[in-house]
Structure 1
Amino acid sequence: MPAAQEGLARFGDAENCLKHLERSRRELVRFVESLTDEQLFHRPGAEVWSVAEVLEHVSLVEESAGKIIRRLRKVALGEAEPFPPSSPGQTRPDGRPLAPPLTEPKGGLSRAALLERLQAVRERVLAEVAESGERLSHPPTYAHPFFGDLTALGWLQTLVYHERHHLRQIQERLGAL
């Protein structure tokens, strides 16, 4: 197992991932609700997303992963064709990953719209995980841009990693204000 996937494995099975996701979402929402509009919508630099844009990105990534989990289930059941090959992720000159274009925020969402979107996307992911059941940890796989070939469980684990990463990122950024 590649090192990146070993890092994801620390989040465990689906039940453990769902506990992590519940905890991190609660913390994320509490944190966002404590922010002023200026803190939420301020872009610290031309190439740096606002907290609102980070939240939109989190929801776009989660929505995408939920669709992948659904498709992997359907492939396993013979109801869909396997995914075509995917492209590897791009990185910045300093080695940090770049968000795939489909997960880049568009901006312009209100606080309420962001929180509603996060909730709606999470509900869809939870439904996909429940529907997948035991199939979650079994092939087929689909290549993540940065973590390689992952089962549906691996994609769920990326959501735990991703939300925790961005929660820490925005907390650190705002702690410096």
Structure 2
Amino acid sequence: MVLEQIQAVRDEVLQSVKGLSDEELNKAPSAESWSIAQVLLHLQQIESYFLSLMDAALQGPNEEVKERNLAYVTDRSHKAKSPIDPPSGFKTREEIVVRLTQSREKVIALIDKKDPATLSEKALNHPVFGKTSVKQTLEFIAAHEKRHIEQIQEIKQTLVVK
């Protein structure tokens, strides 16, 4: 099920930052780059953004939408400018994990116990893909997080613990 998929990826996200200090989470590789904390907050913001779109879609009429190829979402050789920049400023691991947990709990509460067919029959207007089913939007959230796991790994390589 798609909820298991997005939760497995979220577990990977959290595992990717396990053991990092608050200072390491907040250290950006350069002035033009995000810190790991900002990447994590970006994931939470994107999930919250799509939560509101999915909520509205689930209350709307059924629509037939074409399945999208989401394979390129995880390809970091294709750069994309985020429409939502994360906040700057020092954030603790605890603050970040609480925000990630709360946004995921809201998604689960919205989607849990819904007939899987309903998730394919309800559509929203994705800012990149156009009309997309709620199911594919959840798949996008998972792919987007996988993309950023790679970014987190890249940032971790720049951290030099002295």
TM-score when scaled to structure 1? 0.73
Q: Percent identity?
A: 30
Note if 1:39 corresponds to 2:34: no
Q: 5 Å matches for 1:120-159?
A: 120-130=102-112, 132-133=114-115, 134-139=117-122, 141-159=123-141
Instruction: Give RMSD over aligned pairs.
Output: 2.0
- Which residues of structure 1 form unaligned runs of 5+? 1-14, 78-93
**Residue pair 1:56, 1:107 contacting (<8 A) in 2 also:** no
Distance 1:123 1:25 in 2: 12
Note if 1:104 corresponds to 2:85: yes
Q: What code does the residue aligned with 2:8 have?
A: R
- Which residues of structure 2 form unaligned runs of 5+? 63-76
Equivalent in the alignment of 1:68? 53
Q: CA deviation at 1:24?
A: 1.7
Q: CA deviation at 1:129?
A: 1.2
Partner SS, residue 33 of structure 1: coil
TM-score when scaled to structure 2? 0.79
Q: CA deviation at 1:120?
A: 0.6
Q: CA deviation at 1:68?
A: 1.1
Distance 1:121 1:40 in 2: 20
Distance 1:39 1:21 in 2: 26
